[in-house]
Amino acid sequence: MKVEDTDISLETRKAMHGEVMAAVINPLPPEDFGPDFDINSGIDGFDAKSRPRVVPPKRLPTSGLHPKKIVEGQMIGMFESSQDLYLLIAGLSERVSDLEDQLNP
């Protein structure tokens, strides 16, 4: 890929990478995107992985870490690391638990 060509300036490669990611994150025009969209169709080299579902504890440990900035698009969340998704969920879990504690002292 041209993105990996070190003869091209870093700024240009970053811009090209942004264009590639925009195409991957938004594989369909907005009018064709819907809830029945197959996440694995039309995206070569990117597969969605499934994991078993479990009920999380009331409060999740974070060790003071925060998630990285979210990249928005039709494929939002697909390219987030499991750590970032965990930290997002942990933060929301903490908020809900705090509200529950306020309602039920």
Q: Which of 77, 78, 79 is nearest to 88 (CA)?
A: 77
Per-residue model confidence as pLDDT tens digits over 8-50: 888 898 888 888 888 777 777 888 777 666 666 655 655 555 5
Which amino acid is it at 3?
Answer: V
Residue 99, pLDDT score: 93
Q: What is the pTM of this model?
A: 0.45
Which two tokens mark 63?
A: 């060790």
Sign of CA dihedral 27, 47, 15, 88: positive
Exposure letters 11-37 (e unless 16+ CB within 10 A, then b)? eebeebeeeeeeebbebeeeeeeeeee
